[in-house]
């Protein structure tokens, strides 16, 4: 038995193909979900008799993820990619249509099936209302977007600034960091209340956010506010340093916080030193959210795991949450998620029509 990482396979494909492999097992197979990527093309060139794909999240984004993985396992079974796209839609009906083929090829094991000793997991979704000032600023961003909007071709990129604002007013480009960040943001205020409760229990917390400025706000404010240690891992953190950061966090015998970017640190890390997970901003992809929560909820965890999902009602974040729930429905048929790169026009237009209601104080 031989083990190779994907970089070795890509660089040494000609040498590897000097052997006719009896079996090729591809771990973390979601890495070849993009049919057009070089890693996908190279893996499918391997000279082999049989193939096996192993993944915790085999289909993350689109129905074509299914085609790419099945084409590796059994080339040609689903026809060409173009034919597949024409016949299988990216929705629940498409999931139902592909399920009979998948059931003959796939063995699915849920965490609850194979890890009977795991503790309870409690998910708390917490919808929040903006303050009056936040509402007004959000509406200003909204109107600015609408002024330059092409109603025939609404873009997901148009919503990005709104999503950033929903994390914190200070996270918006060119904003000045003047006051206590909990004073100007209802979400950050609620976040601090949750963290304070976690610290009172002498426990640790993982926080997921996608935005660099939120990392900076956490790193500047949390140690001063709560007197605890904080570490972070994002796309700028060297890969060779990430495990040592996790080790220090896991082994610390006192309350602490680890802030992670879900795309940089949402997979592959064992962070059972924490039993609280806060999704500070929601992602379009439910599989990404679940993978991130699984950093703490995995074998070796001995405490009940609490997962907190924070979002603002009547904003773009409400649309993201609704989209996640719809994709979870599709996942019940074909385990499909979404990456937010090609949302339905209706979702984008709905996000641009929502106006936040003022929080009653």
Transcribe 27-71 into DSSP letters.
Answer: SSGGGG-STTSHHHHHHHHS-EEEEEE--SSS--S-THHHHHHHH
Closest CA to 135 of 84, 90, 186: 186
| Low-confidence residues in the chain, pLDDT < 50 | 336-343, 361
The reported pLDDT for the residue numbered 153 is: 66
Q: What is the pLDDT of residue 342?
A: 46
What CATH number is associated with residue 200?
Answer: 3.40.50.300
Residue 95, domain extent: 6-108
Task: Kindly state the tokens that stand for 151.
Answer: 């109603």
Euclidean distance between CA atoms 356 and 139, whole angstroms: 8
Which of 91, 108, 125 is the C-terminal boundary of a domain?
Answer: 108
- pTM for this predicted structure: 0.75
pLDDT at residue number 203? 97
Strands (E), the chain: 21-26, 48-53, 121-128, 205-208, 229-233, 256-260, 276-279, 305-312
Which of 78, 108, 138 is at the close of a domain?
Answer: 108
Q: Are residues 152 and 250 in the same domain?
A: yes
Rounded CA-CA distance 228/274 in Å is 14
| Same domain as 170, residue 25 | no
For residues 85 and 79, give the distance between their C-alpha atoms in angstroms, rounded to a whole number. 10
Q: What is the DSSP string of 139-179?
A: HHHHHHHHHT--TTS--GGGGHHHHHHHH-GGGSTT----S
% helix, strand, coil for the chain, step of 5: 45, 15, 40
Note whether residue 161 is domain-resident: yes
User: What per-residue confidence (pLDDT) applies to 103?
Assistant: 75
| Inside any domain, residue 59 | yes
CB 6 within 8 Å of CB 43: yes
Domain membership flag for residue 361: no
Residue 203 falls inside a structural domain: yes
Q: Are 225 and 81 in a shared domain? A: no
Distances (CA, A) of 354 to 20, 135, 146, 158, 341: 58, 11, 12, 14, 20
Condensed to tens digits (0 to 9), the pLDDT of residues 305-345 reads 999 999 999 999 998 898 888 777 666 665 543 344 444 56
Are 294 and 196 members of one domain?
Answer: yes
User: What total of structural domains would you count in the chain?
Assistant: 2
Which residue shows structure tokens 């896991």? 250
Compute CA 207 distance to the chain's CA centroid, rounded to the nearest angstrom: 12
CATH number of residue 23's parent domain: 3.40.50.10810
| Residues 166 and 26 reside in one and the same domain | no
């Amino acid at each position: 038995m031989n083990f190779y990482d994907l970089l070795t396979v890509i660089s040494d494909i000609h040498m590897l193909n000097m052997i006719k492999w009896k079996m090729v097992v591809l771990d973390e197979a979601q890495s070849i979900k993009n049919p057009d990527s070089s890693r996908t093309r190279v893996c499918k060139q391997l000279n082999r008799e049989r193939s096996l794909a192993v993944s915790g999240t085999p289909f993350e984004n689109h129905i074509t993820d299914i085609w790419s993985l099945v084409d590796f396992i059994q080339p040609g079974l689903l026809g060409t990619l173009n034919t597949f796209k024409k016949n299988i839609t990216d929705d629940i009906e498409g999931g139902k249509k592909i399920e009979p083929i998948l059931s003959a090829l796939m063995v699915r094991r849920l965490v609850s099936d194979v890890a009977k000793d795991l503790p309870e997991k409690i998910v708390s979704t917490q919808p929040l209302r903006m303050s009056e000032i936040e509402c007004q600023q959000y509406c200003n961003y909204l109107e600015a977007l609408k002024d330059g909007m092409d109603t025939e071709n609404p873009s997901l990129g148009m919503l990005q600034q709104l999503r950033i604002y929903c994390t914190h007013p200070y996270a918006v480009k060119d904003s000045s960091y003047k006051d206590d960040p909990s004073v100007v943001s209802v979400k950050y205020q609620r976040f601090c209340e949750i963290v304070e409760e976690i610290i009172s229990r002498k426990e640790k917390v993982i926080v997921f956010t996608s935005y660099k400025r939120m990392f900076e706000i956490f790193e500047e404010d949390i140690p001063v506010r709560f007197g605890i240690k904080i570490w972070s891992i994002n796309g700028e953190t060297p890969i060779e340093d990430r495990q040592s950061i996790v080790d220090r966090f896991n082994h610390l015998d006192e309350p602490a916080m680890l802030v992670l970017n879900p795309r940089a640190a949402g997979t592959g890390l064992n962070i059972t030193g924490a039993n609280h997970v806060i999704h500070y901003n929601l992602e379009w992809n439910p599989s990404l959210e679940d993978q991130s929560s699984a950093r703490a909820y995995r074998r070796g965890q001995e405490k009940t795991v609490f997962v907190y999902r924070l979002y603002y009602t009547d904003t773009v974040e409400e649309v993201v949450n609704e989209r996640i729930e719809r994709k979870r429905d599709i996942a019940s048929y074909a385990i499909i998620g979404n990456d937010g790169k090609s949302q339905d026009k209706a979702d984008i237009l709905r996000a641009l029509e929502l106006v936040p209601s003022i929080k009653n104080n």
